[in-house]
A and B are shown apart, each in its own frame.
Chain A
Amino acid sequence: MSILPQTTATPLGRAQAVTVAHSQPLYVGRVRAGFPSPADDHLDADIDLHAHVVKRPAATFFVRAEGDSMQGEGIHHGDLLVVDRSLEPLPGRVVIVALDGELTVKRLERVGQRFYLAAANSRYRPIPLEGREAHVWGVVTHVVHALPGAAS
């Protein structure tokens, strides 16, 4: 019986990351009727983390988080955030907002007709957007958080 906590990591193996116009198979056999070529099973390109995370290069920006208000979403001070500006800022999504001349990261929440910026840390209160100068800059899709031992 395992005494380890129930967080497990499953190795993914070599998978081919497929995105628009970014990754190319190194070689593609012709489509044939009849038996599939056994060689096609070995067609994988290297796993491309960038292509996995960046779906729309034109609209994707990397930004650096500073502060502890979003810890509950796994965003820590110094983390790298991947921001896709092409996504719609729907309630529930973590967004970058230009608020009073400053870029800030919070979760967009909606109560009735009112929008709020919610922190993920009980020490911070939600910020009502009503009557404030604010516009959504982009939607955060991923967090890159370095653990101890990672080369910076």
Chain B
Amino acid sequence: MIALVDCNNFYVSCERVFDPRLEGRPVGVLSNNDGCVIARSNELKALGVEMGAALHLLPPYIRRRAVLLSSNYALYGDMSKRVTQTLAEFSPHVEVYSIDESFVGFQGFDPATLEERGHRLRQTVRQWTGIPVSVGLAPTRVLAKVANHAAKKLPAYGGVCKLEVDNPATRTILRQLPVTELWGVARRTGERLALMSIETAWQLREADPKRIRRAFSVVMERIVWELRGHPAITLDDMAAPKQQIMVSRSFGRMTGDLVDLREALRQHTARAGEKLRRQGSVTSAVMVFINTNRFQLEHPQYRNSVVVPLPRPTDDSREIAHAAARGLEAIFLKGYRYQKIGVMLLDLSTDTHRQLSLDETPQSEAARQRRQRLMATMDRLNRELCRDAVRLGLPRKGNAWGLRCERRTPRYTTRWEELVRVKA
């Protein structure tokens, strides 16, 4: 059995931990430079504010009623790390899937105890970190995603839903679930599936895997197997969630050498930058994470992560690599043998809808175009010649641009001078 643990309205929940006045009110978190809404409390969703809604287009009555905050990535990164650490108390198999989602493997645990364990996990994360989570338990990742969705949407589950491979509850849920809501099924794929009269998750499960493979891909075939309860998918098969890009890899041999880590991080960052530009997006913050091998208990254990906000949304590999390198310096500790390093690009938005910030002059617009040409050329050379034909060195430290974050809450957990204040 595997659990998908997903933090509810993560960014908003982080803000609420430190400011109880936000409880019960419509709260939204804005993208870097305060352009659009990227996280919503349930109350804000109820007001009809869509994900990605532009701030300046929100009707005045909503702007008056809602609390709209700038994104506070230092805080979200720290809280994400705390949630992951808490999950690690429940199983050694914790795989971070995004800043607010992790898979927790329960292989070897008595299945009869898992539902209760799920409730305890949920309660513990809530108590230790203040973050509410939903838990979906199932034999496969794809079903765990479905279970998580149900845990979140149907109050009767109390935040924890366990799906058996086949029983009436599973059938009901899969029959009601549009196939495009499944993890790994894109809307375009959904349109083609509809032509084959496959519109619900249940119909996909009943489809002939070989036919699906011929019509689509190996990954789609695996999704069918997963729906039937046979684990077939690894995280590498799946694209990261829409708003994030993740690249991580385990080392062939473990290393404690900062130079190795830097090199690996640089490669991951370059890869992530390519993906970012291919989909025409820009990113606003970079998360770096490292960990030792949890199964080698004879070695000291360490895992850590950090989020570095970017001065402005960018698709420039140089700026991303620079931020990532600073993140690594901040969390690297000597004396450990690292198994894995990864990078995650957060808060993606579309390049073309990007709002120009106030400090962008025509000059910097020219510079931006030059930069875009440079990146495009670099991507082409790497595609046509070979991987890493052209690589980045790192720029000097200390460039600073002003970031627009007028409504950012204090960085409660990462700055001495911004600690939360309590009335004595």
A residues neighboring B (CB under 8 Å): 21, 24, 26, 56-59, 61-70, 75, 77, 79-81, 85-86, 96, 98, 101-105, 137
Contact = CB atoms under 8 A, between A and B. Distances in A.
The dominant DSSP class at the B interface is: mixed
B299 to A, nearest CB: 9
B85 A58 contact: yes
A64 B420 contact: yes
Contacts of A137: 20, 130
Nearest to A70: B424
Given A21-B302, A64-B421, A105-B423, A86 B128 contact: yes
A75 B23 CA distance: 28
A59 B82 contact: yes
Contact of A75 (B128, B412, B424): B424
Contact of A64 (B18, B300, B419): B419
A65 B82 CA distance: 23
Given A21-B302, A24-B300, A101-B21, A63 B421 contact: yes
Given A64-B420, A70-B424, 7 more contacts: A21-B300, A21-B302, A57-B82, A64-B422, A98-B20, A101-B21, A105-B423
A103 B85 contact: no
Contacts, number: 82
Nearest to A23: B300
Interface string B181-222: 000000000000000000000000000000000000000000
B9 interface: no
Given A24-B300, A58-B85, A58-B86, A103 B421 contact: yes
B301 interface: yes
A61 B413 contact: yes
B423 A103 contact: yes
Contacts of A69: 423-424
Given A59-B86, A85-B128, A102-B20, A68 B419 contact: no
Contacts of B20: 98, 101-103, 137
Interface residues of B, number: 27
A61 B151 CA distance: 29
A63 B359 CA distance: 35
6 contacts: A21-B302, A58-B83, A58-B86, A58-B89, A63-B421, A66-B423
Contacts of A96: 422
A79 B420 CA distance: 12
Nearest to B16: A98
Question: Most chain-B CB neighbours within 10 Å: which of A67, A69, A75, A101?
Answer: A101
Nearest to B86: A58
- 3 nearest A-B pairs in the assembled complex, by CB-CB distance: A59-B128, A58-B85, A67-B424
A59 B128 CA distance: 5
B291 to A, nearest CB: 11
Contact of A66 (B23, B124, B129, B422): B422
Contacts of A98: 20
Contacts of B21: 101-102
A24 B421 contact: no
B130 A103 contact: no
B234 interface: no
A61 B128 CA distance: 10
B422 A63 contact: yes
A104 B335 contact: no
B5 to A, nearest CB: 14
B422 A58 contact: no
A68 B420 contact: no
A56 B128 contact: yes
Contacts of B127: 59, 85-86
A30 B413 CA distance: 40
A18 to B, nearest CB: 13
A24 B333 CA distance: 12
Most central of A26, A63, A69 by chain B CB within 10 Å = A63
A105 B420 CA distance: 12
B424 A77 contact: yes
Nearest to B21: A101
Contacts of B420: 61, 63-64, 103
Contacts of B23: 101
Interface string B16-27: 001011010000
A66 B302 contact: no
A66 B421 contact: yes
Contacts of A61: 412-413, 420
Given A57-B85, A103-B20, A85 B129 contact: yes
Contact of B423 (A21, A59, A104): A104
B421 A58 contact: no
A77 B421 CA distance: 11
Given A21-B302, A86-B128, A62 B419 contact: yes
A62 B82 CA distance: 14
A67 B419 CA distance: 15
Given A66-B423, A102-B20, A105-B423, A59 B129 contact: yes
A81 B86 CA distance: 22
